[in-house]
Structures are given as structure tokens and as C-alpha cells.
């Protein structure tokens, strides 16, 4: 089992509605990428200076499955990138 972890840091101008829109897009990924075995994501609840604003954790059977999912994700990246890029800090 391989676990893939991603953290997001949002611009200060990002609203709760923006985050919900991103979450809706991310929530569709498991139906689009068969290799995903587990998929969890959510907003930070601690809100410390060290915290990221949002994170996701996904699991795959093995490294090959993760790499295949990256290929499939790349096909969906334009849509997700369009949704998330205005919100993310550089």
C-alpha cells in the first residue's frame, strides 16, 4: 500500500465557498481514477501558524497504481488546476 499526501496553503482572499468548490472537484476524483483505494480530504481545524489550510490523503495498491493515477489525474488537471490555482499561495 502506498499513501500519497498533499497539503494546500490558500491565499488570504479565499472564501469558504471557494474551498467548498475545490472540495467538490476533489471529491469526484475517486470515481474518475480507478486506482484510488482510499481518499480523504478536508480543511484545517487547528488553524495554527504552522498549519496548512487543506489536505488530502490517498492510498493506492502499489507504486505502479500511484503512477497510473498520476497519468489519469493529469487528464483532469486542467479542470482542477483552473479551480485551485487562483486560491493557492505560490
Q: What are phi and psi of 7, to 5 degrees?
A: -120, 145
Its pTM stands at 0.77
Domains (ranges, CATH) in the chain?
2-87 (3.30.70.100)
pLDDT digits (tens, 9 = 90+) for 22-35: 888 889 889 989 99
Nearest to 53 by CA among 4, 87, 17: 87
Answer whether residue 42 shows pLDDT above 80. Answer: yes
What Rg value do the Cα atoms of the chain yield, rounded?
13
- Residue 57 vs residue 73, higher pLDDT: 57
CA 22 to chain centre: 8
Amino acid at each position: 500500500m502506498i499513501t500519497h499526501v498533499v497539503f494546500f496553503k490558500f491565499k488570504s482572499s479565499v472564501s469558504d465557498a471557494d474551498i467548498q468548490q475545490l472540495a467538490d472537484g476533489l471529491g469526484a476524483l475517486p470515481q474518475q481514477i480507478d486506482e484510488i483505494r482510499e481518499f480523504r480530504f478536508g480543511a484545517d481545524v487547528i488553524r495554527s501558524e504552522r498549519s496548512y489550510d487543506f489536505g488530502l490523503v490517498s492510498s493506492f495498491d502499489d507504486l505502479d497504481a500511484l503512477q497510473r493515477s498520476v497519468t489519469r489525474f493529469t487528464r483532469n488537471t486542467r479542470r482542477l488546476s483552473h479551480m485551485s490555482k487562483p486560491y493557492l499561495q505560490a
